[in-house]
Amino acid sequence: MGKVLKIREVGEPILEKECIEVDIKSINEEILDIIEDLKST
């Protein structure tokens, strides 16, 4: 089970940052952990 992450609210600068695309072939354990955290959140 993942950890519960902080929910970001409208207006927080981090939400303006552009994300990078993740190639399905490059999914690793770190990304899988983030996915589990998001599901727990």
Q: Give pLDDT tens digits for 1-41.
A: 899 999 999 999 999 999 988 899 999 999 999 999 999 99
What pTM did the predictor assign?
Answer: 0.66
Q: What is the dihedral of CA 17, 22, 28, 32, to 10 degrees?
A: 60
Enumerate the H helices of the chain as residue ranges. Answer: 29-40
- The pLDDT of residue 20 is 87
For residue 15, what is the DSSP state?
A: G
- The pLDDT of residue 22 is 83
- The pLDDT of residue 40 is 95
Element (H, E) at 4: none
- The pLDDT of residue 9 is 96
